[in-house]
Amino acid sequence: HCTQQGFCVPKPSCCSYQSAIIRIVRLMAHVCKGAIRW
């Protein structure tokens, strides 16, 4: 999952808790290997 800071832990999978961090999640997508869950 993604923390509110946009970092992905512990696995390459993300969730955006706030629409404000969606752009951060997208920027971190390469770290998350593109596994983004909205």
Per-residue model confidence (pLDDT) at position 37: 52
In the chain, what are the domain boundaries? 1-38
Read off the DSSP letter of residue 1.
-
Per-residue model confidence (pLDDT) at position 24: 72
φ, ψ at 8 (rounded to 5°): -105, 120
Per-residue model confidence (pLDDT) at position 33: 56
pTM confidence score: 0.24
Per-residue model confidence (pLDDT) at position 38: 43
Tens digit of pLDDT for each residue in 2-36? 666 656 665 555 554 555 566 676 776 655 555 55
Q: Which amino acid is at 14?
A: C
Say how far apart CA 33 and CA 20 lie, in whole Å: 21
